[in-house]
Amino acid sequence: MAISSALCLPSRPHSKPYFSAADCRSSDSGARPRIEMPAASSLRGGRASPLILRFPPNFVRQLSIKARRNCCNIGVAQIAAASWSNDPPAFEGPRPAASSDASAVPEAAGSDGSTLVGGGVDHSGVDLGVPVVQDAKASVVAKTAALFSSDGSLAVHAGERFGRGISTDGITTPVVNTSAYWFSNSDELIDFKEKRHASFEYGRYGNPTTQALEEKMSALERAESTLFVSSGMYASVAMFSALVPAGGHIVTTNDCYRKTRIFIESELPKMGILATVIDPADTESLKSTLEQNNVTLFFTESPTNPFLRCIDIELVSRLCHNNGALVCIDGTFASPVNQKALALGADLILHSATKFIAGHNDVIGGCISGSEELISKIQLYHNVVGGVLNPNDAYMILRGMKTLHLRVQNQNSTALRMAQLLEEHPKIIHVYYPGLPSHPEHHIAKCQMTGFGGVVSFEIAGDLSTTKKFIDSLKIPYIAPSFGGCESIIDQPAIMSYWDLSRPERTAKYGIKDNLVRFSFGVEGFEDLNADNLQSLEKI
């Protein structure tokens, strides 16, 4: 939405005024527009030139404020409130320079009680690009922690309820679509550079919408800081690149997202980084590797993809920390609702926000949470390389997170019930789900997870063709390469993720058999999903 500097009205075949005085009266300002009829010299061919409505300045100011208020939630960064006239606008000189004394920078209270530095607006306006100062931010964190103890409340309110980088009377956080942020004068810029003035600078370094999202995730993960980026894969790459030095050594597990494994095997060696791959449950191999090598980082998923193996995060963190190694857990399959890796001792927790966190199969993003010290190092790498999350995507993830706890709890329940039924079905050879007593790490999952996730992997009694027939006979789930959304998704990993490898290679190296199925349950009704599953199994 924008307000143009002139409103052109078509000519009418009578002399009655276009608007009565009552029609033109503004309830906000009491101002009436003055209608100017065109001069006789402006008539050409019997047609009048456009008429111009001149509005008093106070009306323009009031309309600007109201427009900003009404439009703040659709990403409008500024409202043009120009003088409504035929005449070209007069040149507007530079704004008065602020004092170089940092204490002279004006402060304004935001609508939520937060302190804005370098100006701000009252409850009726929107101030874009001026974040709360650090002291106010600490106060907001304290208020949030004191009031909200449940993940459900944090998913809805954290990062938004008690202060955000945008002062607005909107319930939802606005989308700030801007590539850069401006400063009042050079002294303010110097204050910003020397950390006496809080602001943003460039879109690659930060955004108010994204900042609200990062604070929400930090609250859910009980983290000091969070960085949101363009994808989960980029989050992994940025983490490795920022924290593992050239010539370093990492330890990882043999069951993980294939693209992560490819990066570890093909890209890290170019930087002289070695990788030791172990079984998720092989703590003895981890101990010996830590003792015999200068290991920088242990990285794994928990649960893993696609066999949903679980790492004893507390034990692994203790072993690694005793040997000076960091621990990063990819918790995408768990989500913050089911598992708190940082509370268990991990240094970093990483997610593909595309999955459960956003939860609607409509946005791609990633994040990594941990201490301010570690996240700052990753942020420095990120600022140079890029991989920025679009603010519109940040808004969609924010919106999706408000129902994270509801969705995940529903998916936990559906997946557990389906896993139990599948395990008893004669046409299913094996079920991989940490909520089942038959799972090799069920005892670990029970101790460190509050729910077991919405994904179940299992093996059909049959070959590649039989498994294809089962999948193709299903009516509800989509055949697609993702998980964690509202819609159920199913795939056959041998085809979806490993089709470029021969059968012996994908079986020997990755354990991927032709009859393996990965089923991500959405939020559809359990009875519908179960009936669909049963009818499909009857056809093989």
Residue 275 has a CB neighbour count (10 Å cut-off) of 18
Q: What percent of the chain has pLDDT over 90?
A: 70
How much is the pLDDT for 462? 96
- Look up the CATH number of the domain holding residue 528: 3.90.1150.10
Q: Does any domain span residue 241?
A: no
Q: Does any domain span residue 390?
A: no
Q: Does any domain span residue 41?
A: no
H/E segment holding residue 115 = strand 115-117
Residue 147 has a CB neighbour count (10 Å cut-off) of 12
Give the domain range for residue 412. Answer: 404-538
Q: Does any domain span residue 214?
A: no
How much is the pLDDT for 460? 98
Q: Does any domain span residue 532?
A: yes
Residue 20 has a CB neighbour count (10 Å cut-off) of 10
> In this predicted model, what pLDDT tens digit does every residue of 309-327 receive, in sequence order?
999 999 999 999 999 999 9
> In this predicted model, what pLDDT tens digit does every residue of 262-310 receive, in sequence order?
999 999 999 999 999 999 999 999 999 999 999 999 999 999 999 999 9
Residue 322 has a CB neighbour count (10 Å cut-off) of 11
Q: Residue 229's closest CA among 111, 46, 391? A: 391
Q: Does any domain span residue 198?
A: no
Q: Does any domain span residue 234?
A: no
Q: Round to whole Å and give the CA distance between 470 and 512.
A: 17
> In this predicted model, what pLDDT tens digit does every residue of 65-78 receive, in sequence order?
444 344 433 333 33
Question: Is omega for the bond preceding 303 within 30 degrees of 0, making it cis?
Answer: yes
User: pTM (2 decimals)?
Assistant: 0.76
What does the block give as tokens for 433?
Answer: 């789900």
Query: What does the angle CA 156 – CA 373 – CA 396 come to, to the nearest 5 degrees?
Result: 30
Residue 201, pLDDT > 90, answer yes
Q: Round to whole Å and give the CA distance between 360 and 402.
A: 12
Q: Evaluate whether 406 touches 360 at the Cβ level (below 8 Å).
A: no
How much is the pLDDT for 136? 61
Mean pLDDT of the chain: 81
Helical residues (DSSP H) of 299-359, grouped into ranges: 313-322, 335-338
Q: Does any domain span residue 473?
A: yes
- CB burial of 485-501 (b: ≥16 within 10 Å; e: otherwise) equals bbbbbbbbbbeebbeeb
How much is the pLDDT for 149? 83
Residue 103, pLDDT > 50, answer no
Task: Reduce the secondary structure of 366-398 to three states and give it as a string.
Answer: EEEEECHHHHHHHHHHHHHHCCCCCHHHHHHHH
Domain count, the chain: 1
Residues contacting 225, CB < 8 A, separation 6+? 214, 218, 369, 370, 371, 372, 375, 376
Residue 55, pLDDT > 50, answer no
Question: Per-residue pLDDT averaged across 128-143, rounded?
Answer: 60
Look at strands 274-278 and 249-253 and give their pairing.
parallel
Question: Per-residue pLDDT averaged across 392-419, rounded?
Answer: 98
- CB burial of 439-471 (b: ≥16 within 10 Å; e: otherwise) equals bebbebbeebbebbbbbbbbbbbbeeebbbebb
Residue 177, pLDDT > 80, answer yes
